[in-house]
Structure 1
Amino acid sequence: MSAETSTATDSTTTGGDTDTSEATEHTGSEPEPGWVATWAASPTAASPLTAPPVELAEQSLRQVARVSLGGELVRVRLANTFGEEAIAVSEARLALSGEGSAIEASSDRPLTVEGAASFVLPAGQIVVTDPVELEVAALGDLSVSLYFAESVVTTTVHAEAAQTSWLSAGNLSADATWPGDAATTTSSYWLNGVEVLATLGEGSGAVVALGDSLTDGSGSTVDGNGRWPNRLAERFQAKPSTADLAVVNAGIGGNCVLRDFIGPKALDRFERDVLDQPGVAWVIVFEGINDIGVGSVLNQLPTPEALVDGYLELIDEAHARGLVVHGATLLPYEGADYYTEDGEAVRQAVNEWIRTSGAFDAVHDFDAVIRDPGQPTRVLPDYDVGDHLHLNDAGYAALGDSIDLTLFE
């Protein structure tokens, strides 16, 4: 088989005076500067099942983001989406990442909101910092360091970040190196996005990947940036005709299209996590397997028609904003804990609709890439991380490699 299998609510406050929403229809327009999302982490509420809430007081938190598109002017989004109380940030800083928790000291910059070095994340809101002059390369790592002098609780999280974050006592936000015994976690807190100022025109903008744990990268190597959107970003940067494109990961492990399970269902979070991303021009919808699997466990298996109606709603909303919408087929999952034959019948029907209906502007046949030719209801063993649902680094790379880049030129 050829590697190319593709075919043709919350409120936001902004530190600067530039609106976070940018035009999404670039074709035929004159290039002009605008903000583009280059990295994101979709938020969920802290939960004992995913990432339990943690109290921080007189502590620093350092988190890393692998950007897709580079730039020289950067700003950061911090989300208190699920918080019922305001979060007081005593100090925030941005720098190029070094090895482990270290940063490149000469790149360290303060982050402010409306000029203030200390600021508040209001309950239920997303705050965008003032722009910072910092030259960051495409596919580079940025460290965001936050210090909390007062007690705060991590109510807004991204549970499966597949990226190490560090916690340590005292204000270490500007320190180039942190103690070797700093606590670590692979969840992230409040860090919602990174934006760069770029030239928006034909062939530029952001591609947002909407999905579940298979987009979030469950099973990939921690700190390896082995998710399929990472691989797509690498391929964009390797080709001059797509080097102005960013890739934003809007995956949430356990997420569903039609039901609230882990995180708000895709139908409810679509505006916040996809449509409101600055510079968004394309969206790839790769979600639905949890609707089938979780629905089977709860004896509430959705019909293929119900999932199709959900996809059509997403497509209509995206088209209304001028976005191009791609769909991806659902992966095989026989052997997974929530597999049933009835669920498999729904998956097959949904995939047939994705492939043949023409509702999506283009289709990426991820199922064909990942399935075992000898047992097409199962993941190919070389790509199976071991639970017969999630993929290893090779599997995610295969998904990223299968996407036809000419669809974005």
Structure 2
Amino acid sequence: MVASTRLMHLLAPGLIAVFLGNAVSSQELEERAPAVITPPNRAFNHWVDSWASMPQLTELHNLPPAPFNTTGLVFANTTVRQTVRLTLGGDLLRIRISNAFGGSNLPITGVSVALPAGGVSGISEVQAGTSQRVTFSGEESVLIPQGALVVSDPIQLKPAVKAATILTVTIYSKEGQTTNSVTSHPGSRTTSWFARGDHLDANDLPAAVEGQAEGEAKTGVAHWYWLSAVEVWAAKRNTAVVIVGDSITDGRGSTDNANNRWPDLLLNRLLASRRPSLQSLAIINQAAGGNRILNDGLGPNALSRIDRDVLAHSSVTHAIIFEGVNDIGTASTDAGVQAALANRIIWSFKQIVERLHAHDIVAIGATITPFGGPGQGYSDPNREATRKKVNEWIRTGRVFDAVADFDKVLADPDAPGQLLEAYNTGDYLHPNVAGFQAIVDKFPLNVFDLRL
């Protein structure tokens, strides 16, 4: 046993180097590896997710534009700079990069984090002097296997990040990913920036000038690529609330780079509450446009992704389930089909709650909001009957630990199957920012006092 343990100690550095794609001697590895911060006070602190996006397989029309996307190769010799809004502060942070849907291994040459200029979302410039390199088990480069994710070493930004801080994460890949199947989150509602070359430590990506080759000037698109989570090291009183949802939660109807999706507005209300118990909560948005409970759509179905998108996140105590509209709206209008679907949705909610309770997570059910109206493809009397049946069960079924009645807040009292006009983006399905604010204003904050 002693000999075996000694052998493992001798082999470990080499094995790590092979995983990272750099076959070097253990002595070379030790000489060049930067010091890794060890989080202090483990008895009183823990990691909490402060931001996350739901990883998805990128559709063809959401792949990066040329020249960052060619047949079988994406982001070769490219710097990708992205901004995210943290929902909880901490002394240390670490990031997660996902290759969940990648068609090949993902070679990351380097990563840096910084604070954006002006502290705002969606810009390519960072504050001078705030950029720090990121390592993964002591190495700056990492090769992420197909289907896997990696977690960085702890990073200490000065000053320490607070809730609502905007963070810039810059990723450079020299080789690029040899596939057109890429992990991303298309519904970022936040501009990300690309430029050819290594600009990890640059204060800004290159602006367009005459005579530049294609791709040398920065290009912006409203998608996130590869980046899946940011965690913070915080006192154990701090925990996370995960919201599982579809395009309404993902921010359809919000303003790009304004952080006014309803989960963002909920965070604002928590921070303004002056209640320490509410200010200690992180809000994690795990929604995707077109998502359904029972069948895959844009991303895996909700029933299948609970493990990855809720249980695998750090220090989760509450989950809000706001799903179902796309199951109802994409199913046949036949009365029998819709009646059976209502029962299936109710069954799926019971399954989700059972799995959440097994991990001591409080389950909060949100009622399905109206979708009736002229020109709305989901609008149909039989579909409306399904929505009513499911909502009545959410309210009275006593399976969820608490209920957020979004339907009651957004529905037109004179036409309960439709959104109130003041909250309608125009498609009779997605609320506007005023609608988001309305459901946040009526959200029962006392549900966050519940613990299992």
TM-score, scaled relative to structure 1:
0.89
2:226 pairs with one of 169, 190, 200: 190
Q: Please give the root-mean-square deviation of Cα atoms over the aligned residues, in Å.
A: 2.3
Please give the per-residue CA displacement for 1:23-64, whole angstroms capped at 9, x wherever unaligned.
Answer: xxxxxxx97210000100001111136557942111110011
Structure 2, unaligned runs of 5 or more:
1-18, 21-34, 209-217
What is the identity, as a one-letter code, of the residue corresponding to 2:189? A
What is the identity, as a one-letter code, of the residue corresponding to 2:439? L
2:170 pairs with one of 122, 145, 154: 145
1:95 pairs with one of 114, 121, 141: 114
Corresponding residue for residue 195 of structure 2? 168
Q: CA deviation at 1:296?
A: 3.1
Please give the per-residue CA displacement for 1:95-141, whole angstroms capped at 9, x wherever unaligned.
Answer: 11224211112211111101111111211011111110011121010
Q: CA deviation at 1:406?
A: 2.1
What is the identity, as a one-letter code, of the residue corresponding to 2:137? E
Please give the per-residue CA displacement for 1:257-296, whole angstroms capped at 9, x wherever unaligned.
Answer: 0001110100111100011110100000000100001113
1:331 pairs with one of 369, 373, 377: 369
SS in 2 for 1:296: coil
Task: Tell me, in whole angstroms, the C-alpha distance in 1 between the residues paired with 2:38 and 2:389.
Answer: 45
Task: Tell me, in whole angstroms, the C-alpha distance in 1 between the residues paired with 2:246 and 2:293.
Answer: 9
Q: Which has the higher helix share?
A: 2
Alignment of 1:61 onto 2:80: yes
Alignment of 1:250 onto 2:262: no
- Would the aligned equivalents of 1:163 and 1:223 in 2 still touch at CA under 8 Å? yes
- Would the aligned equivalents of 2:292 and 2:302 in 1 still touch at CA under 8 Å? yes
Corresponding residue for residue 27 of structure 1? none
1:200 pairs with one of 236, 258, 262: 236
Corresponding residue for residue 156 of structure 2? 133
Please give the per-residue CA displacement for 1:69-96, whole angstroms capped at 9, x wherever unaligned.
Answer: 0112000011000113111111100111
1:318-357 maps to which residues of 2 (within 5 A)?
A: 318-335=356-373, 336-357=376-397
Please give the per-residue CA displacement for 1:203-232, whole angstroms capped at 9, x wherever unaligned.
Answer: x30000010111101110001111111111
Task: Tell me, in whole angstroms, the C-alpha distance in 2 between the residues paired with 1:323 and 1:359.
Answer: 13
Taking every aligned residue pair, what percent have the same amino acid on both sides?
A: 37
SS in 1 for 2:117: coil
Task: Tell me, in whole angstroms, the C-alpha distance in 1 between the residues paired with 2:418 and 2:364.
Answer: 24
SS in 1 for 2:104: coil
Alignment of 1:72 onto 2:91: yes
Bigger radius of gyration, 1 or 2? 2
The 1:178/1:52 distance shift into structure 2, 3 A limit, reads closer
The 1:316/1:50 distance shift into structure 2, 3 A limit, reads farther
Corresponding residue for residue 268 of structure 1? 304
Q: CA deviation at 1:298?
A: 10
- Would the aligned equivalents of 1:16 and 1:129 in 2 still touch at CA under 8 Å? no
Task: Tell me, in whole angstroms, the C-alpha distance in 2 between the residues paired with 1:112 and 1:170.
Answer: 20
Task: Tell me, in whole angstroms, the C-alpha distance in 1 between the residues paired with 2:141 and 2:333.
Answer: 47
- Would the aligned equivalents of 2:38 and 2:154 in 1 still touch at CA under 8 Å? no
Alignment of 1:157 onto 2:193: no
Q: CA deviation at 1:170?
A: 1.0
User: Does 1 or 2 have the higher relative contact order (CA < 8 Å, sep 6+)?
Assistant: 1
SS in 2 for 1:132: coil
Corresponding residue for residue 52 of structure 2? 40
SS in 2 for 1:130: coil
Please give the per-residue CA displacement for 1:361-387, whole angstroms capped at 9, x wherever unaligned.
Answer: 000000011111221111111111111
Corresponding residue for residue 213 of structure 1? 247
Q: Which has the higher strand share?
A: 1
- Would the aligned equivalents of 1:228 and 1:397 in 2 still touch at CA under 8 Å? yes
- Would the aligned equivalents of 1:95 and 1:143 in 2 still touch at CA under 8 Å? yes
1:224 pairs with one of 248, 251, 258: 258
Q: CA deviation at 1:180?
A: 3.7
Task: Tell me, in whole angstroms, the C-alpha distance in 1 between the residues paired with 2:417 and 2:38.
Answer: 49
SS in 1 for 2:60: coil
What is the identity, as a one-letter code, of the residue corresponding to 1:222? D
What is the identity, as a one-letter code, of the residue corresponding to 1:235? R
Which deviates more, 114-123 or 316-325? 114-123
Q: CA deviation at 1:148?
A: 1.1
Corresponding residue for residue 23 of structure 1? none
Task: Tell me, in whole angstroms, the C-alpha distance in 1 between the residues paired with 2:152 and 2:332.
Answer: 43
Task: Tell me, in whole angstroms, the C-alpha distance in 2 between the residues paired with 1:18 and 1:283.
Answer: 30
Corresponding residue for residue 284 of structure 1? 320
TM-score, scaled relative to structure 2:
0.81
1:18-37 maps to which residues of 2 (within 5 A)?
A: 32-37=44-49
Task: Tell me, in whole angstroms, the C-alpha distance in 1 between the residues paired with 2:150 and 2:438.
Answer: 36
